[in-house]
Amino acid sequence: MRRFITKSLEFLSYIGMLLIVIGAAGSGANAGGAVGLIVGLIAGIVIAVVAFGAVFLLMDTADNTRRMVELLEQRQP
């Protein structure tokens, strides 16, 4: 069940990142044409990485902690 929740959060994070990038690109294209589109894409990517970077770091930390616990449990007699 934990694996399902983790994978679901990861999937939703990717969708959120995609929506931010598409929204920023569309907004930039409306404001400044082709140059605005490129600037919007770059800004959207930066914003998405900043916004969802913490989520991915927390998921990775939780995964590493779970693996460490499994390894320590295997070591005990």
The ranges assigned to domains in the chain are 1-77
- State which amino acid sits at residue 11: F
Which whole number is the average pLDDT over 23-40? 92
- Residue-level pLDDT at 52: 93
- Residue-level pLDDT at 32: 85
How do residues 35-77 score in pLDDT, each as one tens digit? 999 999 999 999 999 999 988 898 888 888 888 888 888 887 6
Query: Buried b vs exposed e over 48-59: b needs ≥16 C-beta within 10 Å?
Result: beeebeeeeeee
Of 3-7, 23-27, 36-40, the range with the lowest mean pLDDT is 3-7
- Residue-level pLDDT at 77: 65
